[in-house]
Chains A and B, each alone.
Chain A
Amino acid sequence: MSFGLLRIVSQVELSLSVTKAALQSCLIASLVFIVSFSLHADEITIDAEVGFHGNFHLGRPFPLRVELSNLGPPVEGTLEVTVWKGGATKGLAAFAVYHRRTISLAAQARKSAWFTVDPGSIGRPLLVTFHSARGSSAKEIDLRRHFSPAPLILLLTASNLMPHLPLAPASPAPLVAVSPEELPADARAYGGVSTVVFYEPSLRDLSKAQAGALESWLASGGRMAVLGSLDYALYQEPSIGRFLPVRVTGLKNFAALAAMERSYGSKAASLKNVTAMDSTLLGGRSLIEENGTPILVERSRGKGKILYLALDIGRPPLSRWEELPRLLRDILGAPVESRSAMPTSWDEAVFTQLLLNPALLSSYVPVGAFFMWMVFYLAGLGVVTWLWQKRRLSWRRLALIFLSLVVFSASGGYLQFRQGGKIPDGVLLAATVLEPLADGYVEGNSNIAIFSTLRRDYDLALDGGWSDFDPVPRRGGRLEDNALVALEEAGRPSFRVAVKEWDHRLFRGRSVSRFPLSVEFDPREDKRVLKVSNLTAHDLTDCWLILAGERISLGDVASGSTRTREFPLANGAASAADSRSRQVDLRDIPFKDKTRELLFRASFFPQEHGLARWGGNAALFFGWVKDAPRRIRAGEERVSTRDFTLFRAVFPLGEDEDL
């Protein structure tokens, strides 16, 4: 008995010790797991630099450089920057834009990634996270310490050191010295930059994407100031030569600068024995010239401007010249207004009108096929009824014919509409207004919509030249309705948009590109002459001129052709004044394509912006670009694309030139 009791007690003790050991090992294992997990997460550190050396212009896009350091084994993951837009101050629900990039990090390595971000406010911090199979690391960035109310001036030098240039007193904007490798490869990142100043730059290592971005920004209203140096060879490199309005040939010594004296008064007389870069003019306008050598040259590039100064302001005697801040102020100038004077309208109401327009409706709804199937089915039922009335067939046969008709119609129509019924997954609509700039450039303001018949994601890829691309948030929409993912892969920006079935998302964009279509309007004393030279690869169709209260149809201007039309003036000053007071209702202008008509009235010349009635103070020319080049792609066969591009040019007449 006692032996049995002892045995039971020892068994209980044994089972207790086994349980204790198991619990201990579980505890140790979980501790090891927790510690190792946090260690793995800590192995990735995130460092970020906001804007250009910690500066950005408030309310404009800016670059964000994120540096990942991996202290552990190789890892692959997604780097994500969460930016908040909208918010109560803008009368919209806040929504997130996620910038994502896939990153592979070798062991004990560092990697940098560039993003272009455009937060709606600086109140909410940016959130940078790195997600991998080993865990997540995150860092919040407070933007409040980095913003500038004025646009930035970038100084590009071969070294990253701020040289002793007296640029700061010339402009209230913050001056940031950057090296060429710090220049962004996305034109949108220059949104908060007013001027890029080149001084002894070496652009040899500038990538194609960086040069393209710089050129796009310049054409869309940027300002570039190229300041001369005694190290003239740097300015002979092809990489900088593409921006220069001159060809630099060497150095030239001037005993005095008489032309500078004429522009800047007697104080320029102190400039003696000045060495300047010698050059020949390639284009643009020489503002100051000394003995045939261009000293200060201005050249337009699209909406932007390039200024070239042959003098070295970093070295005496110019660096000590008291009028140097004034000269630099003239060179740096005021920032260009980037927005169009005639804004287009783009919202839910406009797009819904377009959706219901039969011309567009037929691209996503098979109305014709549906009607044919309906006629076939009803006619088939009519035949069955006729056969029944004639009583030629047995009941069984009639029932079989009826059932066959129902089954065939139902399944045939279903399969056609489901698979081959020309119903696309989505419709990408781009409506663009092109407005001429200098040197054959045009500025395009694009209104974009992606409409989906299915719940799915669409990747919108942007071609080069875009300076802005923003979603149009839906008022009262939920957070996920307006959310957007910006994919920063392969150096080309693209956006992943989730769209619900039978729903749409709207965007606005701005781009500048070459489009050699020139329209000249010559208001002479007795007549007015309009000359349209279409050197593009695209026909201009349905052209109109609105002049002095009249609308004149001009027909088409074929690719490669030039058309000139003369319009005699009515007699007398009174009639001229009368014609100025007359207005043309643009909504009365008919177009063959109803979608064009709708876009023209509701979006391009909207009534709410006072553009529906055109006054006589300015002449307006417009025409539709046939098969205009695509700037945005959804990149799939199942997405139908519709492009509508209108070219318009405005010519102020008389004294009242404001539009």
Chain B
Amino acid sequence: MRLNPVFREGLEVYLAEGHGFAAYFYVLILLAPVVFLTLFLPSLDAQVWVGPAHLFRVSFVAALVLIVYFSLRTANQEFAPWRLRTVKSWLHEQGLSRGALARGQLALFSLQVILFVLLCSPLLLWAAAIARASAAAIVSAFLLLSFYAFAYGIWGLAALALWERRFETRQVFVRVFCIMMVFLTSVFYLPLNPAAFLLSYLGEKEMAPLALWGWQWAAYSAHFTFHILLLGAGLAAHRWGLRREVYW
């Protein structure tokens, strides 16, 4: 079986040459102290804080933030961009079809997300065991983590396809995208925010429904509809960016 050339190039650059190790290192070196210190460090409100009680939730939220951010950056080819062929080169010089290029990029992105989740999984599982979380909660937390990584990370690929030759623009876009998503979801409707949703879901807390033009949407429906739309929009933007590259 022949590997997709885009995927093979990604494997070579990120894993064989080790250019992706920096991202994995950052994720682990930031997550490990957060998980460990959450065990016993007091918070500002000593009345309610019991570290291990929140260990599961805090660890998964920290992992969520780190994985989403570094997935975005990896998908945006911020690590070793000089070692990777451009979209134009793949399409016009290597004669790769747009579909094969998209599949290769998506496969590489999926591998990165899986690797991030895999690397964090021991720490997260230990945290879940200490916090006495149920198996169902652990499985759903891992699924949510992967889902968010895809839903947000895909915009890194979209940025790459849209502004491949403008590296700074892409860099600014992914950061602004991250911050704006956190800000807007917090301001307009908190259950749309993945961190807030994860905290509420794992803490078994009720979330207020979304009221729009007299209609009431359950928080779960609103949250997942929004993120599925976000994922779909990201995929569409990626596809549109690649198509634009073909005709330009």
Chain A residues packing against B (C-beta within 8 Å)? 348-349, 352-353, 355-356, 358, 361, 364-367, 370-371, 373-374, 377-378, 381, 385, 388-389, 395, 403, 406, 409-411, 413-418, 421, 423, 453-454, 501-503
For A417, list chain B residues within 8 Å (CB): 126, 129-130
Q: Is the CB of A373 within 8 A of B126?
A: yes
Which one of B123, B126, B129 has the greatest number of beta carbons of chain A within 10 Å?
A: B126
Nearest-neighbour CB distance to chain A for B203, whole angstroms, equals: 11
13 contacts between A and B (CB under 8 A): A352-B46, A356-B51, A373-B122, A385-B18, A388-B18, A403-B118, A406-B119, A406-B121, A406-B122, A410-B125, A414-B128, A415-B129, A502-B52
Which residue on B lies nearest to A413, using beta carbons?
B126
A406/B118 in contact, CB under 8 A: yes
Q: Is the CB of B51 within 8 A of A365?
A: yes
B201 at the interface (CB under 8 A from A): no
Q: Is the CB of B130 within 8 A of A421?
A: yes
B26 lies within 8 A of chain A by Cβ: no
Are A361 and B130 closer than 8 Å at their CB atoms?
Answer: no
Q: Which one, B16, B48, B119, B130, contacts A423 given CB within 8 A? A: B130
Q: B217 on the interface (CB 8 Å rule)?
A: no
Complex contact B129–A421 (CB within 8 A): yes
Task: Tell me the nearest residue of chain A to B53, going by C-beta.
Answer: A502
Does B130 contact A370, Cβ atoms closer than 8 Å?
Answer: yes
Contacts A373-B126, A395-B16 given; does A361 touch B46 at CB 8 Å = no
Measured between beta carbons, the chain B residues less than 8 angstroms from A413 are: 122, 125-126, 129
User: Which chain B residues lie closer than 8 Å to A352 at the CB level?
Assistant: 46-50
The interface on chain B, measured as residues whose beta carbon lies within 8 A of the other chain's beta carbons, has a size of: 30
A389–B18 CA distance with the chains assembled, in angstroms: 9
Bound state CA distance, A418 and B134, in angstroms?
A: 10
Q: How many Å from the CB of B133 to the closest CB on chain A? A: 9
Stretch from B35-43, B187-195, B205-213 contacting the other chain:
B35-43
**Contact A374:B36 (CB < 8 A) given known A406-B122, A410-B125, A414-B129:** yes
Nearest CB of chain B from residue A357's CB, rounded to whole Å:
10
Please name the residue on chain A nearest to B128 by beta carbon.
A414
Contacts of A361 in B (CB 8 A): 40, 51
Least Cβ–Cβ distance between B191 and chain A, in angstroms: 23
- Whether the Cβ atoms of B46 and A356 lie closer than 8 Å is yes
Q: Interface on chain B toward A: helix, strand, loop, or mixed SS?
A: helix
Partner of B32, one of A378, A410, A503: A378
A186 to B21, alpha carbons, bound, how many Å?
Answer: 69
Whole-angstrom CA separation of A367 from B50 in the bound complex: 14
Residues of chain B contacted by A389 (CB below 8 angstroms): 18
Chain A residue, CB-CB nearest to B121: A410
Interface string of B46-76 (1 = CB under 8 A from A): 1111111100000000000000000000000
Q: CA–CA, A348 to B50, complex, Å? A: 12
Please report the C-alpha to C-alpha distance between residue A403 and residue B118 in the assembled complex, in whole angstroms.
Answer: 9
Given A356-B49, A413-B125, A413-B129, 8 extra CB contacts under 8 A: A349-B46, A352-B50, A356-B40, A410-B121, A410-B126, A417-B130, A501-B132, A502-B131
**A365, B130: Cβ atoms under 8 Å?**
yes
| Most interface-central of A370, A395, A454, A502 (chain B CB within 10 A) | A370
* Residues of chain A within 8 A of B122, CB atoms compared: 373, 377, 406, 409-410, 413
Measured CA separation A364–B119 after assembly (Å): 27
Q: Is B28 part of the binding interface, using a Cβ–Cβ cutoff of 8 Å?
A: yes
Query: Which B residues are CB-close (under 8 A) to A454?
Result: 132
Bound form: Cα–Cα A381–B52 in Å: 26
Which residues of the other chain, B, contact A416 by a CB distance below 8 angstroms? 129
B28 cross-chain contacts in A, Cβ below 8 A: 378, 381
Q: How far is the CA of A502 from the CA of B132 in the complex (A)?
A: 9
> Once the chains are docked, how many angstroms separate the CA of A388 from the CA of B119?
16
Q: Which of B122-180 contact A (CB under 8 A)?
A: 122-123, 125-126, 128-132
Give every chain B residue within 8 A of A403 (Cβ-Cβ).
118
Question: Within 8 Å CB of A418, what residues of B?
Answer: 129, 132
Alpha-carbon distance A98/B192, docked complex (angstroms): 43
| Distance from A44 Cβ to chain B, minimum over Cβ atoms (Å) | 40
**Alpha-carbon separation in the docked complex, A353 to B48 (Å):** 11
Q: Does A366 lie within 8 Å of B130, measured CB to CB?
A: yes
Residue of A nearest to B131 (CB): A502
Q: Nearest residue in B to A347 (C-beta to C-beta)?
A: B47
**Interfacial chain A residues near B119, Cβ < 8 Å:** 381, 406
A367 lies within 8 A of B40 (CB): yes
For the complex, what is the distance from the CA of A406 to the CA of B125, rounded to whole Å? 11
Residues on A with beta carbons closer than 8 Å to the beta carbon of B48:
352
Q: Bound complex: CA of A447 vs CA of B35, how far in Å? A: 32
| Residues of chain A lying within 8 A (CB to CB) of residue B46 | 349, 352-353, 356
Give 1 or 0 for each of B7-37: 1 = CB within 8 Å of chain A CB. 0000000001010010000001000100110
State in angstroms the CA–CA spacing of A388 and B51 once bound together.
37
Q: Are A349 and B47 neighbours in the complex by a CB distance under 8 Å? A: yes
A355 to B46, CA, bound (A): 10
**A-chain residues with CB within 8 Å of residue B18 when the two chains form the complex:** 385, 388-389
Chain B's closest residue to A358 (CB) is: B40
Q: Which of B42, B125, B132 contacts A356 (CB 8 A)?
A: B42
Residues of A within 8 A of B16 (CB): 395
Contact A365 B52 (CB under 8 A): yes
Complex alpha-carbon distance, A381 and B119, angstroms: 9
CA distance A395 to B46 in the complex (A): 50
Shortest 6 CB-CB distances between A and B: which pairs? A502-B53, A417-B129, A410-B122, A409-B122, A418-B129, A413-B126
List residues of chain A with CB within 8 A of the CB of B118.
403, 406
Contacts of A370 in B (CB 8 A): 36, 39, 126, 130
- Give Cα distance in the complex from A423 to B129, angstroms: 10
Which residue in chain B gives the minimum CB-CB distance to A406?
A: B118
Q: How near does chain B come to A165, taking the closest CB pair, in angstroms?
A: 56
User: How far in angstroms is the closest Cβ of chain B from A515?
Assistant: 34
